[in-house]
A = this chain, B = another copy of it.
Amino acid sequence: MAGVNKVILVGNLGRDPEVRHLEGGASVATFSLATSESYTDRDGNRQTQTEWHNIVMWRGLATIAERYLKKGSKIYLEGKLTTRSYEKDGITRYATEVVARDMVMLDNRPEGQVGNNAYAPPTAADAPSQAQAASPAPAAAAATPDLSAAEGSNDDLPF
Protein backbone atom coordinates (compact mmCIF):
# COMPACT_ATOMS: atom_id res chain seq x y z
CA MET A 1 0.00 0.00 0.00
CA ALA A 2 2.73 2.40 0.89
CA GLY A 3 4.34 4.26 -1.93
CA VAL A 4 6.66 7.08 -2.85
CA ASN A 5 5.56 10.34 -4.42
CA LYS A 6 8.47 12.68 -4.77
CA VAL A 7 9.27 15.63 -6.99
CA ILE A 8 12.63 17.37 -7.12
CA LEU A 9 12.93 20.64 -9.01
CA VAL A 10 15.56 23.30 -9.55
CA GLY A 11 14.24 26.33 -11.36
CA ASN A 12 13.19 29.95 -11.28
CA LEU A 13 9.98 31.63 -10.19
CA GLY A 14 7.99 33.08 -13.05
CA ARG A 15 6.33 35.67 -10.81
CA ASP A 16 6.31 36.80 -7.21
CA PRO A 17 4.54 34.29 -4.99
CA GLU A 18 0.86 34.91 -4.28
CA VAL A 19 0.27 34.47 -0.59
CA ARG A 20 -3.09 34.03 1.13
CA HIS A 21 -3.69 34.03 4.83
CA LEU A 22 -6.51 31.65 5.59
CA GLU A 23 -9.01 31.97 8.38
CA GLY A 24 -7.60 29.23 10.53
CA GLY A 25 -4.28 31.02 10.63
CA ALA A 26 -2.60 28.96 7.97
CA SER A 27 -1.09 30.60 4.93
CA VAL A 28 -0.53 29.35 1.41
CA ALA A 29 1.87 30.56 -1.21
CA THR A 30 1.42 29.67 -4.85
CA PHE A 31 3.64 30.41 -7.82
CA SER A 32 4.90 28.99 -11.08
CA LEU A 33 8.36 27.55 -11.35
CA ALA A 34 10.21 27.13 -14.64
CA THR A 35 12.65 24.29 -15.16
CA SER A 36 14.66 24.54 -18.35
CA GLU A 37 16.78 22.00 -20.05
CA SER A 38 18.96 22.44 -23.08
CA TYR A 39 19.65 19.87 -25.73
CA THR A 40 20.97 19.71 -29.25
CA ASP A 41 18.39 18.78 -31.86
CA ARG A 42 18.90 16.65 -34.96
CA ASP A 43 20.08 19.64 -36.93
CA GLY A 44 22.73 20.40 -34.35
CA ASN A 45 20.94 23.46 -33.08
CA ARG A 46 20.87 24.29 -29.43
CA GLN A 47 17.32 24.15 -28.10
CA THR A 48 15.85 25.05 -24.76
CA GLN A 49 12.74 23.40 -23.42
CA THR A 50 10.98 24.90 -20.45
CA GLU A 51 8.40 23.25 -18.25
CA TRP A 52 6.21 25.26 -15.91
CA HIS A 53 5.16 23.79 -12.59
CA ASN A 54 2.43 24.95 -10.24
CA ILE A 55 3.92 25.12 -6.78
CA VAL A 56 2.03 25.24 -3.47
CA MET A 57 3.68 26.02 -0.16
CA TRP A 58 1.86 25.83 3.16
CA ARG A 59 2.39 27.50 6.52
CA GLY A 60 6.03 27.96 7.41
CA LEU A 61 7.18 27.52 3.86
CA ALA A 62 4.54 30.01 2.70
CA THR A 63 5.86 32.58 5.13
CA ILE A 64 9.38 32.12 3.89
CA ALA A 65 8.21 32.30 0.30
CA GLU A 66 6.41 35.54 1.05
CA ARG A 67 9.47 37.09 2.61
CA TYR A 68 12.28 35.87 0.45
CA LEU A 69 11.09 34.59 -2.91
CA LYS A 70 10.49 36.83 -5.89
CA LYS A 71 10.08 36.66 -9.59
CA GLY A 72 13.34 35.26 -10.86
CA SER A 73 14.43 33.58 -7.62
CA LYS A 74 16.20 30.31 -8.16
CA ILE A 75 15.28 27.51 -5.79
CA TYR A 76 15.70 23.81 -5.12
CA LEU A 77 12.40 22.28 -4.15
CA GLU A 78 11.25 18.89 -2.97
CA GLY A 79 7.61 17.98 -2.77
CA LYS A 80 4.88 15.68 -3.95
CA LEU A 81 2.56 15.56 -6.94
CA THR A 82 -1.12 16.18 -6.31
CA THR A 83 -4.03 16.56 -8.67
CA ARG A 84 -7.17 18.49 -7.75
CA SER A 85 -10.38 18.62 -9.69
CA TYR A 86 -12.53 21.72 -9.91
CA GLU A 87 -15.51 23.00 -11.86
CA LYS A 88 -15.23 25.81 -14.36
CA ASP A 89 -17.95 26.80 -16.79
CA GLY A 90 -19.75 23.64 -15.78
CA ILE A 91 -16.82 21.53 -16.81
CA THR A 92 -14.67 19.42 -14.54
CA ARG A 93 -11.05 20.31 -14.90
CA TYR A 94 -7.93 19.02 -13.28
CA ALA A 95 -4.99 20.91 -11.89
CA THR A 96 -1.75 19.19 -11.04
CA GLU A 97 0.38 20.87 -8.43
CA VAL A 98 3.57 20.22 -6.56
CA VAL A 99 3.06 20.62 -2.81
CA ALA A 100 6.46 21.58 -1.41
CA ARG A 101 8.02 19.87 1.55
CA ASP A 102 11.55 21.30 1.50
CA MET A 103 13.07 24.31 -0.15
CA VAL A 104 16.55 25.72 -0.56
CA MET A 105 17.21 29.16 -1.96
CA LEU A 106 19.97 29.10 -4.52
CA ASP A 107 20.53 32.73 -5.33
CA ASN A 108 23.93 34.04 -4.44
CA ARG A 109 23.77 36.50 -1.64
CA PRO A 110 25.57 39.49 -3.01
CA GLU A 111 27.99 40.87 -0.48
CA GLY A 112 28.01 44.60 -0.24
CA GLN A 113 25.21 44.98 -2.69
CA VAL A 114 23.68 48.39 -2.62
CA GLY A 115 20.23 49.38 -3.68
CA ASN A 116 17.22 47.23 -4.15
CA ASN A 117 15.60 45.70 -7.15
CA ALA A 118 13.11 43.04 -8.04
CA TYR A 119 15.72 40.34 -8.34
CA ALA A 120 17.60 41.03 -5.15
CA PRO A 121 18.07 37.92 -3.08
CA PRO A 122 17.94 38.25 0.69
CA THR A 123 20.91 40.02 2.16
CA ALA A 124 19.78 39.95 5.75
CA ALA A 125 21.49 37.50 8.05
CA ASP A 126 18.15 36.29 9.29
CA ALA A 127 17.21 34.84 5.94
CA PRO A 128 17.06 31.09 6.14
CA SER A 129 18.21 29.54 2.93
CA GLN A 130 16.71 26.21 3.75
CA ALA A 131 13.25 25.41 5.03
CA GLN A 132 10.86 22.56 5.59
CA ALA A 133 7.15 22.06 5.72
CA ALA A 134 6.01 22.41 9.31
CA SER A 135 4.23 19.10 9.57
CA PRO A 136 6.39 16.28 8.25
CA ALA A 137 4.37 13.13 8.37
CA PRO A 138 1.00 14.65 7.60
CA ALA A 139 2.08 15.81 4.22
CA ALA A 140 -1.35 14.55 3.37
CA ALA A 141 -3.00 16.57 6.08
CA ALA A 142 -1.03 19.60 5.03
CA ALA A 143 -2.89 19.58 1.78
CA THR A 144 -6.23 19.38 3.51
CA PRO A 145 -7.08 23.00 4.19
CA ASP A 146 -9.51 23.83 1.42
CA LEU A 147 -8.45 27.00 -0.24
CA SER A 148 -11.69 27.83 -1.99
CA ALA A 149 -13.76 27.00 1.05
CA ALA A 150 -11.59 29.08 3.30
CA GLU A 151 -12.06 31.99 1.00
CA GLY A 152 -15.73 31.43 0.35
CA SER A 153 -15.23 31.56 -3.35
CA ASN A 154 -14.95 29.06 -6.12
CA ASP A 155 -13.64 31.08 -9.00
CA ASP A 156 -10.51 31.82 -7.21
CA LEU A 157 -8.14 29.08 -8.10
CA PRO A 158 -4.45 29.15 -7.58
CA PHE A 159 -3.72 28.20 -11.17
Residue of B nearest to A142 (CB): B39
Interface segment among A19-27, A48-56, A145-153: the answer is A48-56
The number of residues on chain A lying at the interface, defined by a beta carbon within 8 Å of a beta carbon of chain B, is 55
Q: Do B2 and A128 touch (CB < 8 A)?
A: yes
The CA-CA distance from A65 to B21 in the complex, in Å, is: 41
Which secondary structure dominates chain A's binding surface?
strand
The CA-CA distance from A11 to B80 in the complex, in Å, is: 13
The CA-CA distance from A39 to B108 in the complex, in Å, is: 21
Total identical chains: 4
Distance in angstroms from A37 CB to nearest chain B CB is: 6
Kindly identify which residue among B35, B136, B138 contacts A3, using a CB–CB cutoff of 8 Å.
B35
Q: Do B9 and A130 touch (CB < 8 A)?
A: no
A45 lies within 8 A of chain B by Cβ = no
Contacts A10-B104, A82-B51, A106-B10; A37 near B2 (Cβ below 8 A): yes
A42 contacts across to B, CB distance below 8 A: 141
A15 lies within 8 A of chain B by Cβ = no
Kindly identify which residue among B3, B49, B51, B52 contacts A37, using a CB–CB cutoff of 8 Å.
B3
The CA-CA distance from A38 to B98 in the complex, in Å, is: 19
A6 lies within 8 A of chain B by Cβ = yes
A37 contacts across to B, CB distance below 8 A: 2-3, 5, 130, 139-140
